[in-house]
């Protein structure tokens, strides 16, 4: 890349000093100026750097496939998306699955179910599967981030689809890799958790299936989801590990698995940015920094 | 607690029961109470009870109180001490308690009871109380050995007070009491001297240097001093050191008691343990073993005793003389002279094993040894004359084996010391002699003891003197022999001189060290008490030392050992060591308590007091002398009075109890002395009782005190026994080790011998080996030389070979070259030959050509000439030809130019075209890219659109499902409603059956179902047919909830569509009325669905518009669909429906309206619809 020399020699300094992503906006803009957008490069970019919030939604849409790489079709495709959304919404309203007062997340859930042909019958409407709970969490978080209904619905839908398709197989292995990386980083904590029997009781559902929705505040969650959306599910492991490491002292003080689980589920929301940054560093350290493939 | 008081009181009284069982219970109860109760009330009551009743049980309980109560007890005792009435009882109680040595006894030193006791002792006047108190104090002292300076001075003051008691207080006190008091003071003296010699001595010095106390000192204290030896602490200790707690930490109570006893020379008081030899005891034990020959022991003794005699206070037992003493004593050949039943009957520690270990022998000897020193001591002047010729000379060999080396040295030293002794002893004995003489009135220093028994015995023995003379001679001779033997002797005895001897020595030293010269004041001879103590009673007596006073040194090389006891009576000439004198004296010492009943009773009491004792003794001596006659002149020089110990006096008193009592009574102012009061039935006078009681009490106290001492001794003995056992075990081990060592040495010797053998052999072998080696070396050298030679030769040959090879190679190369050359030359030669032939031919040709040329030249010339001669007119033709040729030339040139120009142009064109071609290619690439891009974009859009479409399909699916559900719910309701109408229900059922298939269809089967349902309806009209069931059944499997929305819509759609074409069929429906109801139900549906149908129709319209071009093939497909029951492609069916719609497009609105109208109108129209449907399908069928 022609910009690489220009980017690199300063960015290294910035990284050293701790300001990451300073020059990134410019490079992102450059990337976004491409026509058609190079999704690979965007993936790599978002894996390396946190996305600027200005472009985040846009980039997410591109990465998730909601928007095609070609900028000219964006409008048309958005129109389609919009229409599709409203069609489904209308259908559900007609069928009285939802009404005006339904919460957004429920609406999204029903729409998603309809689109995936999993819409339960009216009689079974109240029965919620665990996946629905996950969906709710994710949907709620996403809706908070993206205020637009259509966008949020599409983002949720594609996010969940991508998550279940790409990472569905590797989900069960995430706890094991958490253990493995924790043993690399801090075996003492790991031993303590194992001795309490807490390793099996960590809130994996909250962490791995809900992708930290509801656990981290939006600002930090966005950065985590950047990485998720751009194709890595290992980041979840590292965020989890970083949470454990950050609260190591408190965890070591606890000896009961239930209290540990309780604490982790109601994690304090203060230093989550630092946690996420450290987690990203850890992830880069262990899994390497993705480079642009030229 | 008050409630318990009466119980407690009862308990206390119950202590006096005679029932053992009950007694046990009561005691247990009391103990429990004491344990539980930490207050002092019960204890105080118990003490009071004891004080009142003197109950033994209470005493027993009180003396075994434990920790919390000890303080209460001491306080209570302190309180009771203040009251003089119960003071005695309190002291008794205290004495009992202390004797038990409770673990808290050390607290007494800080308790007020001690001060009360001391105060009592200082101020009280009741003798009994004083005596008891003193005994208590004596017992207590070892237990609180660190009394503090103040208390210490108080002890001394008490001693001083009590010592001078009898002199300073009115003499109304009965002599019995005085004796007891004297005994207790004596014991106190011993205790204080033993425990705090320096302090005590300084006190004595300060106290008795005063004039007024001189008398006390002379009479009382000095004799006591004669019964103790010099305490080593006097030399090595200081006043402060005595009070130093560290000093006392080493000692236990019995240790202290024994330490005191060691210093004492009184045979009754002292103990014979190592460190000190208390000659008295052994002396008295072996009193019977009178040694006839004093020889060395005696001399040793005397020499040893000389030094002590220099100072009145100092007694023997100097360590310096200890060992020689020991040796002497043990080696004393005179030992064998001493006979003791133990040697005969093996009562001493193992006499049978005498030969085994020196210790045993030594111990045995030591048993007998001490006698000698005692006696030696008592023979102050080394008088050989006084040899105790006792018939008890036992087997000399017993003792010979124990000779020690040094003994022989001693005799010589003894004699000179005698003289030294004498002045010292003279002082001591002067008193005695003066007494003998008749009482010079000087201070009597020597105490004499005389036992009552001795007197009668003495008398008796005087009669036996003849016998004894003979024995005496025999003994003398034996002594001689033994001494001589002894002087030669000191060979190494097996075992004794061995290195292990030393160890045993220490064991036996203790016993041997008895050979400490007894204090001149020793009264070993007063055996009545002592001999009764030990079983070694023999009638033999020691020659009193008095007889040894004479410096009859010539008679024996050594002084007679025995007769340490100076019987003042027997102040016979000691010079001869006359047995007679001894014997004379013997009877005095013979213990025969039984005989002395009628002995002068008064004498005893006089003896209790030193002065009186001396007088008594003098009297007795005189009497004896009178009886004996002048046979044995009493010599008064060198008489050495042995002061009798108060203890012995007491013993005599006890033995003479009855007489004492009588005498006592005599002193009392009684009306009739000889009356036997009890005879008259009256009670004895109270005074008598009082005295008896007090005497009893005193005796009891004394007994307890002695018992206590005995117990301490027993404890100590057990300790020592354990040590002995350990030592013997170690000795055994040593012996075993020695044996082992021996064996080892033997082994070593044998091994050394074998080693030397082996070494010799080894040497031989080595030499052989060396010769062999040298031989082999020479051989090797030779061989090597040969080898070298051959190798050099070989090398030379090799080098030559190489050279030759090289030469050969070179030659070959040359040869090759030569061959090559030859070949080359051959070739050249061939070539040259060919060339040669060629050249020859060429030459020939040349020649030929030359010739031709010549010829032709000539011909040419000829022709030229002809030519010149023939035609001069060809110039025009030539010119014309030239011109033509030139023109042609130009043309050709021009053409050529043209061609070249064309060529250039073509080339340029080519170049241009190529560039254009590349550009076109570029454009193509870009176009492709663009196309790709566009395609991707389009595909993305298409994907987006498709997703929309898929979503729509899903929506429709969901909607259809909803509809089916709702239909089913409706039908269920209808079923329920129509439950009452049976017949109608059937038809309705059919209709419903007919209808439900319509509803319960998948959308894919929409049209087919409608058609079939139509057919079913026809059947309905005609009759029920199994076909319906079949068909309905066939259509039931698809779930009723399946999204039949579309299909029903289709169905719905059909009737309106089909309504038109066949309105005529409505009339045929006769049974339609029957199904009125059902269509009603059916009819209810459309109201819900009308909106849906409209919507769907819209959708379908849209679709149909988009797919209108596919109409025709759809029709055919529709027919296929109609025939089959499956309709996989909803699109197809929809299309089919669309066809229907299309065919009846124009009628749709009508049908709609009709539909609505029909629905509103009624059932018949419904049926008509059905029929129409049916008809229409049939017509359709016809069409198809």
Predicted local confidence at residue A69, as pLDDT = 84
Q: Has residue A242 got a pLDDT over 80?
A: yes
Q: Does A64 touch chain B (CB under 8 A)?
A: no
Residue of A nearest to B958 (CA): A114
What is the DSSP secondary structure assignment for residue B228, as one 8-state letter?
A: B
Instruction: Give the pLDDT mean for B705-716.
Output: 84
Average pLDDT over residues A276-287: 84
Average pLDDT over residues B416-442: 41
Residues B1114-1138 have a mean pLDDT of 47
- Placement of tokens 């090799």 in the chain: B798
Domain assignment of residue A202, yes or no: yes
Q: What is the pLDDT of residue B815?
A: 97
Residue B396 has pLDDT above 60, yes or no: no
pLDDT at A236: 86
The answer to whether the CB of B480 falls within 8 A of the CB of B333 is no
Distance from CA of B961 to the nearest CA of A (A): 8
The DSSP secondary-structure symbol of B572 reads B
CA angle B67, B73, B79 (to 5 degrees): 155
Highest mean pLDDT pick, B115-124, B411-420, B978-987 = B115-124
Between the CA atoms of B528, B533, B536 and B537, what dihedral angle is there, to the nearest 10 degrees? Answer: 20
CATH code of the domain covering residue A204:
1.10.472.80
Residue A162 sits in the same domain as residue A183: no
Would you state the pLDDT for residue B429?
Answer: 42
Query: At residue B994, does pLDDT exceed 90?
Result: no
- Among residues A166, A194, A216, the one where a domain terminates is A166
Q: Please give the Cα distance from B712 to A46 (Å, whole number).
A: 103
Could you tell me which chain A residue has the CA closest to the CA of B954?
Answer: A115
Residue bearing the bigger pLDDT, B1149 or B734? B734
Question: Residue B941 and residue A94: Cβ atoms within 8 Å?
Answer: no
- When mean pLDDT is compared across A166-170, B402-406, B700-704, B1174-1178, the lowest value belongs to B402-406
CB A138 within 8 A of CB A160: yes
B936 to A36: CB separation less than 8 angstroms, yes or no: yes
Q: Note whether A211 and A262 are same-domain residues.
A: yes
Q: Helix, strand or coil for residue B264?
A: strand
- Is residue B840's pLDDT more than 60? yes
> Hey, what are B566's tokens?
């100076």
Q: What percentage of chain A exceeds 70 in pLDDT?
A: 90
B1156 alpha-carbon distance from chain centroid? 107
Q: For residue A272, is pLDDT > 70? A: yes
Most confident of A115-124, A285-294, B745-754, B1047-1056: B745-754
Q: Which chain B residues have a beta carbon less than 8 Å from that of A154?
A: none
Q: CA-CA distance, B518 to B454, in Å (whole number)? A: 21
Tens of pLDDT, residue by residue over A1-22, are 445 555 567 767 766 666 665 6
Name the residue with higher pLDDT: B409 or B1112: B1112
pLDDT for res B893: 97
Q: What is the pLDDT of residue B272?
A: 54
Task: Please state, in angstroms and rounded to a whole number, the distance separating the CA atoms of residues B25 and B11.
Answer: 10
Q: What are the chain A neighbours of B945 within 8 Å (beta carbons)?
A: 80
Q: Is A218 exposed, middle or buried, given 0-12, 13-18 or 19+ CB atoms closer than 10 A?
A: middle
Candidates A61, A63, A75, A80: best to mutate against B (most CBs of B within 10 A) is: A80
Cβ-based contacts of B933 with chain A (< 8 Å): 36, 70
For residue B806, the model assigns a pLDDT of 97
Mean pLDDT, residues A37-62 taken together: 85
pLDDT band, very low/low/confident/very high, at B1028 (cuts 50, 70, 90): very low
Q: How confident is the model at residue A253 (pLDDT cuts 50, 70, 90)?
A: confident
pLDDT score, position A32: 85
Q: Which range (B583-597, B642-656, B954-968, B1122-1136) has the least confidence?
A: B583-597
Q: Are residues A102 and A188 in the same domain?
A: no
Helices B1130-1143 and B1006-1022 meet at what angle, rounded to 10? 60
Give the Cα separation of B198 and B788 in Å (integer): 107
**Residues 68 to 107 of A: which have CB under 8 A from any B CB?**
68-70, 72-73, 76-77, 80-81, 83-84, 87-88, 91, 94-95
Whether residue B965 and residue A122 make contact (CB cut-off 8 A), yes or no, is yes
Least confident piece of the model among B62-76, B649-663, B1026-1040, B1100-1114: B1026-1040
Residues B567-595, mean pLDDT to the nearest whole number: 41
Average pLDDT, chain B: 66
**A148 and A246 inside one domain:** no
Q: Of B716 and B1047, which is predicted with more confidence?
A: B716
Q: How far is B1175 from chain A (nearest CA, A)?
A: 35
B961: contact with A, CB 8 A cutoff: yes
Span B777-790, pLDDT tens digits: 999 999 999 999 99
Ranges B267-276, B1093-1102, B1130-1139: which has the least confidence: B1130-1139
Single out the residue in A166, A184, A207 at which a domain terminates.
Answer: A166
Query: Residue A66's closest chain B neighbor by CA?
Result: B944
B935 — contact with chain A (CB < 8 Å)? Answer: no
DSSP letters, B751-770, are HHHHHHHHHHHHHHHHHHHH
Q: What is the pLDDT of residue B514?
A: 41
User: Does pLDDT of B523 surpass 70?
Assistant: no
pTM: 0.35
Instruction: Decide if pLDDT at B119 tops 50.
Output: yes
Residue A96 shares a structural domain with residue A176: no
Q: Worst-scoring range by mean pLDDT, A37-51, A131-145, B111-125, B1139-1153?
A: B1139-1153
In the numeric block, the tokens 């309780």 are attached to: A262
Task: Clarify whether residues A104 and A182 are in a common domain.
Answer: no
> Which of A157-161, B383-387, B1151-1155 has the largest mean confidence?
A157-161
- Name the band, by pLDDT with cuts 50, 70 and 90, for residue B775: very high
Q: What's the token pair of residue B901?
A: 């120009």
* Residue B357: pLDDT band with limits 50, 70, 90: very low
| CA nearest neighbour of B451 among B564, B568, B534, B370 | B568
Same domain, A148 and A187: no
- Would you tell me which residues 218-277 of chain B have a C-beta closer than 8 angstroms to some C-beta of chain A? none
**Residues in chain A within 8 Å Cβ distance of B958:** 91, 95, 114, 119
Of the segments A120-134, B363-377, B653-667, B910-924, which one has the largest average pLDDT value? B910-924
d(CA B1170, CA B1062): 11
* For the ranges B425-439, B536-550, B907-921, B1052-1066, the one whose mean pLDDT is highest: B907-921
Q: With respect to residue A182, please indicate whether it lies within any of the assigned structural domains.
A: yes
Residue among B944, B959, B961 whose CB faces A80 most closely: B944
Name the minimum distance, in Å, from the CA of A186 to any CA of chain B.
Answer: 47
| B958 in contact with chain A, both atoms CB, cutoff 8 A | yes
How much of chain B exceeds pLDDT 90, in percent? Answer: 17
Cross-chain Cβ contact B944/A81 below 8 Å: yes
How many interface pairs between A and B have CB atoms less than 8 angstroms apart? 66
Q: Let me know if residue A40 belongs to a domain.
A: no
Q: List strand residue ranges (DSSP E) for chain A, in order.
A: none
Range of weakest confidence among A190-199, B668-677, B707-716: B668-677
Choose the closest CB to B958 out of A69, A70, A95: A95
**pLDDT confidence tier of residue B913, bands split at 50, 70 and 90:** very high
Question: Do residue A104 and residue A66 come from a single domain?
Answer: yes
Q: Is residue A33 part of a domain?
A: no
Q: Is the pLDDT of residue A120 over 70?
A: yes
Domain count, chain A: 2
Q: Is B951 on the interface with A (CB under 8 A)?
A: yes
Give yes or no: residues A216 and A130 share one domain. Answer: no
Residue A14 within a domain:
no
Q: pLDDT: is B110 or B1068 the higher one?
A: B110
- Among residues A125, A145, A166, the one where a domain terminates is A166
Q: Report the distance separating Cα B85 and Cα B984, nearest Å.
A: 138
Q: List the alpha helices (DSSP H) in B978-1005.
A: 982-999
Tell me B635's DSSP state: P
Query: Among A56-60, A205-209, B270-274, which is the least confidently predicted range?
Result: B270-274
Q: Which of A13-17, B324-328, B939-943, B1139-1143 has the lowest mean pLDDT?
A: B324-328
Contact A72 B937 (CB under 8 A): yes
Q: Across residues B707-725, what is the average pLDDT?
A: 88
Looking at residue A7, its pLDDT comes to 57
Cβ <8 Å between B951 and A76: no
Minimal CA separation from A2 to chain B, in Å: 22
Predicted confidence (pLDDT) per residue in B163-207, tens digit: 877 676 665 666 777 777 888 888 888 888 888 888 888 888 888
- Which chain A residue lies closest to B935 (C-alpha atoms)? A70
Residue B711: both structure tokens together: 């117990």
Position B470 scores a pLDDT of 63
Nearest-CA distance from B1130 to chain A in Å?
A: 17
A54 or B608, higher pLDDT: A54
B957 touches chain A (CB under 8 A): yes
Reading the block at residue B902, the tokens are 């064309």
List CB contacts (< 8 A) between B959 and chain A: 91, 94-95
Is there a contact between A80 and B962 if contact means CB atoms under 8 Å apart?
no
A191 and A117 in a single domain? The answer is: no
- Does the residue A252 lie in any domain? yes
Which residues from B are below 8 Å from A80, CB to CB?
941, 944-945, 947-948
The length of chain A, given as a count of residues: 294
Residue A18 lies in a domain: no
- Residues B360-386 have a mean pLDDT of 42
If you average pLDDT over residues B794-804, what whole number do you get?
97
Residue A177 belongs to domain spanning: 171-287
**Interface membership of B1099 toward A (CB under 8 Å):** no
A229/A242 Cα distance (integer angstroms): 20
Residue in chain B closest to A75 (alpha carbons) equals: B941
Q: What spatial distance separates the first Cα and last Cα of chain A, rounded to whole Å?
A: 7
Q: How far is A180 from chain B (nearest CA, A)?
A: 41
Whether A87 and B965 lie within 8 Å, measured CB to CB: no
Same domain, A246 and A282: yes
The residue ranking higher by pLDDT, B221 or B1095, is: B221
Residue A73, SS3 per DSSP:
helix
Looking at residue A114, what is its pLDDT? 84
The residue with greater pLDDT, B59 or B410, is B59
Residue A213: φ, ψ to 5°: -70, 130
Q: Are residues A60 and A134 in the same domain?
A: yes
A213 in any annotated domain: yes
Q: Given CB atoms, is B969 within the 8 Å cutoff of chain A?
A: no
pLDDT band at residue B753 under the 50/70/90 scheme = very high
Which position has the higher pLDDT, B944 or B433?
Answer: B944
Whether residues A76 and B944 touch (CB distance < 8 A) is answered with: yes
For residue B881, the model assigns a pLDDT of 94
Q: Do B940 and A80 touch (CB under 8 A)?
A: no
């Amino acid at each position: 890349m022609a910009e690489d020399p220009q980017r690199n020699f300063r960015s290294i300094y910035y990284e050293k000093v701790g300001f990451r992503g300073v020059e990134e906006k410019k490079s992102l803009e450059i990337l976004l100026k491409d026509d058609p957008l190079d999704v690979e490069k965007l993936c790599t970019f978002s894996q390396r750097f946190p996305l600027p919030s200005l472009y985040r939604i846009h980039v997410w849409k591109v990465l998730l496939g909601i928007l095609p790489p070609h900028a000219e079709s964006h409008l048309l495709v958005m129109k389609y998306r919009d229409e599709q959304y409203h069609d489904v919404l209308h259908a559900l309203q007609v069928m009285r699955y939802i009404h005006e007062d339904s919460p957004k997340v429920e609406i999204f859930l029903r729409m998603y179910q309809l689109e995936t042909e999993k819409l339960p019958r009216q009689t079974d409407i109240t029965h919620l599967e665990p996946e629905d709970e996950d969906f709710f969490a994710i949907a709620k978080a996403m809706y908070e981030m993206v205020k637009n209904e259509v966008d949020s619905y599409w983002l949720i839908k594609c996010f969940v689809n991508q998550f279940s398709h790409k990472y569905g197989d590797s989900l069960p292995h995430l706890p094991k890799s958490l253990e493995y990386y924790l043993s690399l980083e801090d075996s003492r904590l790991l031993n303590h958790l194992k001795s309490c029997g807490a390793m099996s009781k960590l809130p994996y559902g909250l962490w791995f299936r809900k992708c930290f929705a509801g656990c981290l505040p939006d600002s930090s969650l966005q950065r985590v989801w950047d990485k998720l959306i751009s194709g890595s599910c290992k980041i979840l492991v590292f965020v989890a590990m970083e949470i454990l490491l950050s609260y190591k002292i408190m965890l070591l003080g606890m000896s009961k698995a239930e209290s540990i689980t309780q604490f982790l589920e109601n994690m304090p929301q203060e230093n989550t940015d630092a946690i996420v940054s450290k987690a990203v560093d850890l992830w880069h350290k262990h899994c390497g920094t993705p480079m642009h493939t030229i | 607690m008050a409630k318990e008081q009466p119980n407690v009181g009862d308990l206390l009284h119950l202590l006096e029961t005679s029932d053992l069982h009950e007694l046990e219970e009561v005691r247990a109860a009391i103990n429990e109470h004491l344990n539980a109760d930490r207050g002092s009330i019960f204890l105080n009551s118990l003490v009071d009870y004891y004080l009142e009743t003197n109950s033994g049980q209470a005493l027993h309980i009180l003396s075994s109180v434990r920790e919390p109560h000890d303080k209460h007890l001491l306080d209570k005792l302190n309180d009771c001490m203040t009251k003089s009435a119960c003071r005695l009882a309190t002291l008794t109680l205290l004495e009992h308690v202390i004797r038990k040595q409770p673990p808290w006894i050390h607290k007494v030193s800080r308790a007020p009871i001690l001060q009360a006791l001391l105060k009592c002792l200082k101020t009280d006047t009741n003798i009994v109380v004083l005596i008891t108190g003193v005994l208590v104090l004596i017992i207590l002292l070892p237990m609180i050995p660190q009394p503090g300076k103040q208390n210490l001075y108080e002890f001394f003051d008490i001693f001083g007070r009590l010592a001078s008691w009898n002199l300073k207080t009115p003499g109304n006190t009965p002599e019995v009491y005085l004796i007891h008091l004297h005994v207790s003071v004596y014991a106190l003296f011993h205790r204080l001297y033993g425990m705090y010699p320096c302090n005590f001595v300084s006190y004595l010095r300060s106290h008795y240097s005063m004039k007024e106390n001189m008398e006390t000192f002379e009479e009382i204290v000095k004799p006591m001093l004669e019964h103790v030896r010099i305490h080593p602490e006097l030399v090595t200790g200081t006043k402060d050191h005595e009070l130093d707690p560290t000093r006392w930490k080493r000692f236990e109570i019995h240790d202290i008691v024994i330490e005191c006893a060691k210093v004492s020379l009184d045979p009754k008081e002292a103990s014979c343990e190592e460190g000190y030899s208390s000659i008295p005891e052994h002396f008295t034990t072996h009193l019977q073993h009178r040694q006839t020959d004093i020889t060395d022991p005696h001399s040793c003794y005397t020499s040893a005793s000389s030094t002590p005699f220099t100072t009145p206070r100092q007694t023997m037992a100097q360590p310096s003389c200890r060992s020689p003493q020991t040796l002497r004593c043990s080696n004393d050949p005179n030992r064998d002279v001493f006979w003791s039943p133990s040697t005969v009957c093996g009562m001493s520690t193992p006499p049978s094993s005498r030969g085994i270990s020196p210790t045993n022998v030594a111990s045995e000897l030591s048993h007998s040894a001490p006698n000698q020193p005692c006696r030696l001591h008592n023979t102050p002047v080394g008088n050989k004359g006084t040899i105790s010729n006792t018939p008890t000379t036992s087997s000399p060999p017993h003792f010979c084996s124990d000779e020690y080396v040094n003994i022989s040295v001693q005799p010589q030293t003894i004699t000179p010391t005698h003289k030294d002794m004498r002045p010292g002893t003279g002082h001591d004995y002067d008193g005695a002699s003066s007494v003998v003489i008749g009482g010079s009135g000087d201070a009597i220093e020597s105490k004499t003891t005389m036992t009552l028994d001795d007197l009668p015995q003495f008398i008796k023995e005087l009669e036996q003197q003849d016998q004894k003379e003979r024995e005496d001679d025999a003994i003398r001779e034996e002594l001689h022999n033994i001494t001589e033997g002894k002087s030669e002797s000191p060979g190494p005895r097996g075992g004794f001189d061995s290195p292990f001897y030393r160890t045993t020595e220490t064991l036996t030293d203790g016993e041997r060290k008895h050979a400490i010269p007894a204090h001149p004041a020793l009264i070993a001879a007063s055996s009545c008490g002592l001999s009764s103590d030990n079983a070694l009673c023999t009638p033999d007596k020691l020659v009193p030392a008095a007889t040894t006073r004479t410096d009859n040194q010539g008679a024996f090389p050594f002084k007679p050992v025995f007769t340490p006891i100076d019987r003042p009576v027997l102040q016979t000439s000691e010079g001869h060591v006359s047995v007679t004198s001894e014997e004379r004296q013997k009877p005095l010492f013979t213990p025969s308590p039984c005989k002395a009943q009628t002995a002068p009773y008064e004498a005893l009491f006089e003896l209790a007091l030193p002065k009186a004792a001396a007088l008594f003794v003098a009297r007795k001596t005189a009497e004896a002398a009178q009886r004996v006659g002048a046979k044995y002149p009493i010599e008064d020089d060198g008489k050495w009075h042995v002061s009798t110990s108060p203890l012995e006096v007491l013993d005599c008193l006890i033995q003479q109890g009855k007489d004492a009592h009588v005498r006592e009574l005599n002193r009392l102012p009684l009306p009739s002395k000889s009356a036997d009061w009890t005879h008259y039935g009256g009670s004895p006078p109270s005074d008598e009782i009082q005295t008896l009681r007090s005497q009893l009490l005193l005796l009891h106290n004394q007994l307890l005190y002695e018992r206590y001492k005995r117990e301490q001794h027993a404890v100590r003995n057990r300790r020592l026994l354990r040590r002995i056992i350990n030592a013997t075990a170690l000795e055994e081990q040593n012996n075993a080790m020695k044996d082992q060592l021996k064996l080892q040495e033997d082994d070593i010797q044998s091994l050394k011998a074998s080693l030397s053998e082996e070494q010799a052999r080894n040497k031989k072998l080595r030499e052989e080996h060396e010769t062999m080696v040298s031989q082999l070396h020479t051989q090797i050298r030779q061989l090597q030389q040969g080898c070298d030679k051959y190798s050099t030769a070989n090398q030379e040959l090799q080098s030559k070979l190489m050279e030759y090879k090289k030469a050969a190679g070179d030659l070959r190369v040359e040869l090759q070259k030569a061959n090559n050359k030859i070949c080359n030359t051959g070739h050249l030669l061939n070539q040259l030959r060919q060339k040669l032939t060629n050249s020859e031919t060429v030459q020939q040709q040349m020649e030929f050509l030359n010739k031709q040329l010549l010829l032709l030249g000539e011909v040419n010339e000829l022709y030229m000439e002809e030519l010149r001669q023939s035609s001069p007119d060809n110039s025009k033709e030539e010119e014309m030809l030239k011109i033509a040729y030139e023109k042609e030339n130009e043309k050709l040139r021009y053409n050529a130019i043209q061609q070249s120009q064309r060529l250039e142009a073509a080339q340029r064109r080519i170049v241009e075209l190529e560039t254009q071609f590349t550009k076109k290619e570029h454009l193509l690439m870009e176009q492709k890219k663009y196309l790709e891009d566009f395609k991707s974009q389009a595909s993305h859009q298409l994907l987006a659109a498709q997703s929309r479409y898929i979503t729509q399909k899903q929506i429709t699916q969901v909607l259809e499902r909803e509809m089916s559900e709702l239909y089913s719910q409706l039908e269920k309701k209808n079923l329920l409603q129509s439950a009452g109408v049976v017949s109608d229900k059937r038809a309705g059922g059919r209709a419903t059956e007919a209808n439900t298939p319509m509803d319960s269809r998948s959308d894919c089967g929409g049209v087919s179902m409608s058609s079939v349902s139509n057919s079913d309806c026809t059947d309905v009209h005609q009759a029920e047919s199994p076909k319906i069931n079949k068909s309905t059944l066939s259509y039931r499997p698809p779930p009723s909830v399946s999204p039949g929305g579309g299909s029903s819509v289709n169905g719905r759609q059909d009737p309106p569509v089909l309504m038109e074409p066949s309105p005529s069929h409505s009339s045929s429906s006769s049974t339609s009325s029957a199904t009125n109801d059902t269509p009603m139900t059916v009819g209810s549906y459309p109201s819900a669905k009308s909106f849906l149908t409209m919507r769907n129709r819209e959708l379908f319209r849209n679709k149909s518009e988009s797919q209108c071009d596919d109409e025709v093939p759809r029709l055919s497909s529709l027919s296929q669909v109609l025939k089959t029951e499956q309709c996989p492609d909803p699109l197809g069916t929809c299309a089919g429906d669309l066809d229907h719609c299309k065919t009846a497009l124009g009628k749709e609105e009508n049908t709609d309206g009709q539909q609505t109208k029909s629905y509103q109108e009624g059932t018949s129209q419904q049926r008509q619809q059905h029929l129409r449907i049916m008809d229409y399908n049939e017509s359709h069928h016809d069409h198809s």
